[in-house]
Amino acid sequence: ETLTLGDVFDGVKRNADYVIGAAPAPGQEITLNARTLYRSAVAMDLQCRPISSSDQVVVRREASVISYDEIENTLRSALVQKGVTGNFNVALNSGKPTIVLPKDMPKQVALSAIDFDVQKDYFSATLVAPSLDNPVQRINVTGMVERLSSVPVLRSNLQNGDVIGANDIEMIEASEVQRLL
């Protein structure tokens, strides 16, 4: 949670545990420029000094990142349990979120609540990570279930008068929105 002198400067014996600021959030980084490094070294009576004004230290905090694919799979399983059948996509209104946890946390996500409107194919859900018992991170999402169906499409462009054969057509999975475009 904190950034210490020993985290920034190599070989510091005295005051290595001295807190110089807050650590970046898990998965994030901060950059300490030459001026900040110089002021810290002088204040703590360190012999280390930046060589040029372009010197910098980048502090990156390790993290466990739960990908959008893992979030989507959790939502998909819950929607199937709510009665959604057949092929479908999960389309979130907020893009493709990820969940960032401290590095020592397991990369797991759980669903704490989900509401599904069968008539509108609309859902809202609350996801927690790493578990229901230990909800370190919580995100609320809303979205739609996009039902998919097989649609015939041409494999390549044909000329006027060409006869379409079985080898010219392939079936793809498309949503209602895609078919309207």
Q: Tens digit of pLDDT per residue, the chain (181 long)?
A: 899 999 998 888 888 999 989 999 888 999 999 999 999 989 998 888 899 999 999 999 899 999 999 999 999 999 999 999 999 999 999 999 999 998 899 999 999 999 999 999 999 999 999 999 999 999 999 999 999 988 899 999 989 999 999 999 999 888 865 544 4
Q: What pLDDT shows up at residue 75?
A: 98
Q: At a CB cut-off of 8 Å and minimum separation 6, what does 27 contact?
A: 61, 62, 63, 65, 100
Nearest to 144 by CA among 97, 67, 68, 89: 89
Per-chain mean pLDDT for the chain: 91
Handedness of CA 80, 83, 85, 90 (dihedral sign): negative
- Alpha-carbon distance of 55 to 40, in angstroms, equals 14
Q: What pLDDT shows up at residue 47?
A: 86
Q: What pLDDT shows up at residue 179?
A: 46
Q: What pLDDT shows up at residue 178?
A: 52
Q: What pLDDT shows up at residue 176?
A: 66
SS3 of residue 118 by DSSP: coil
